């Protein structure tokens, strides 16, 4: 199931079935018409098997989900519940300033806690504000990606590619926040500053 503002863009197309048919078979033509919609910005991951693969792919560890939940548990009034997983595909582009356009060059994603608002308090960033579940999830995901990036960096040169992948996913998520003009982007960037 996709969020209403995340439907993929399609165009009208005509496709012919060109497989060989036995003599006397009828050739069929299928036409699919799907209206043009806005650019895909995020895709909700709902299938259980895809959810199992999503976390280690995003965080380079199967413990990413617990790390994000633990972060929010320590820094907010979060008290459990079912999280949503959001994949942000590569290639999202947008105008983010008077003369600045950016594009996400790597896929990324994030997790969001149950709907509602969360009082988020991050002493190291001098941040103490109420944010939506979406913003809380983005903030927690960015912190965990950053923490894991530093941990893999400290593990040595053999983990350099993993470290770079984590940094790229973190940068792509920050770009996503700017590109879509997230309504709480100023809070998100102040929280991670």
Mean pLDDT value across the chain: 83
Phi, psi of 46 (to 5 degrees): -115, -25
Position 31 scores a pLDDT of 32
Instruction: Report helix, strand or coil for 112.
Output: strand
Higher pLDDT, 18 or 83: 83
71 contacts 143 by C-beta, under 8 angstroms: yes
Of 134, 152, 154, give the one whose Cα is nearest residue 144. Answer: 152
Helix (H) or strand (E) holding 48: helix 48-59
Give 44's DSSP letter: E
Q: What would the mean pLDDT of 116-120 be, rounded to a whole number? A: 97
For strands 127-132 and 117-122, give the pairing: antiparallel
What is the model's pLDDT at position 28?
32
Interatomic CA distance for residues 61 and 129, integer angstroms? 30
Nearest to 79 by CA among 129, 116, 109: 116
Residue 119 main-chain phi, psi, to 5 deg: -85, 105
Q: What is the pLDDT of residue 110?
A: 97
User: Quick one: which H or E segment has residue 87?
Assistant: strand 84-88
- For helices 160-179 and 185-192, angle between their N-to-C axes, nearest 10 degrees: 150
Q: Please tell me the predicted confidence (pLDDT) of residue 102.
A: 86
148, pLDDT greater than 70: yes
Structural class in CATH, domain 41-192: alpha beta
Measure CA 154 to chain center: 26
| Percent of all residues in the chain with a pLDDT value above 70, rounded to a whole number | 79
Q: Which long-range contacts (CB under 8 A, 24 or more apart) does 76-84 make?
A: 76/118, 76/119, 76/120, 76/121, 76/136, 77/118, 77/119, 78/113, 78/118, 78/136, 81/113, 81/114, 82/114, 83/111, 83/112, 83/113, 83/114, 83/137, 84/44, 84/111, 84/112, 84/137
């Amino acid at each position: 199931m996709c969020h209403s503002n995340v439907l993929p863009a399609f165009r009208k197309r005509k496709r012919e079935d060109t497989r060989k048919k036995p003599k006397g078979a009828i050739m069929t033509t299928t036409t699919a018409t799907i209206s043009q919609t806005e650019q895909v910005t995020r895709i909700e991951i709902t299938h259980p098997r895809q959810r199992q693969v999503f976390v280690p792919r995003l965080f380079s560890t199967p413990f990413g989900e617990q790390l994000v939940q633990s972060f929010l548990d320590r820094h907010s009034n979060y008290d459990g519940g079912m999280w949503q997983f959001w994949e942000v595909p590569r290639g999202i582009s947008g105008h983010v300033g008077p003369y600045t356009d950016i594009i996400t060059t790597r896929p990324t994603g994030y997790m969001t806690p149950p709907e509602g608002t969360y009082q988020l308090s991050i002493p190291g960033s001098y941040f103490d504000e109420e944010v939506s579940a979406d913003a809380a999830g983005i903030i927690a995901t960015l912190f965990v990606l950053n923490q894991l990036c530093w941990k893999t960096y400290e593990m040595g040169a053999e983990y350099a590619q993993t470290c770079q992948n984590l940094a790229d996913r973190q940068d792509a998520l920050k770009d996503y926040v700017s590109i879509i003009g997230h309504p709480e982007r100023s809070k998100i960037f102040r929280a991670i500053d």
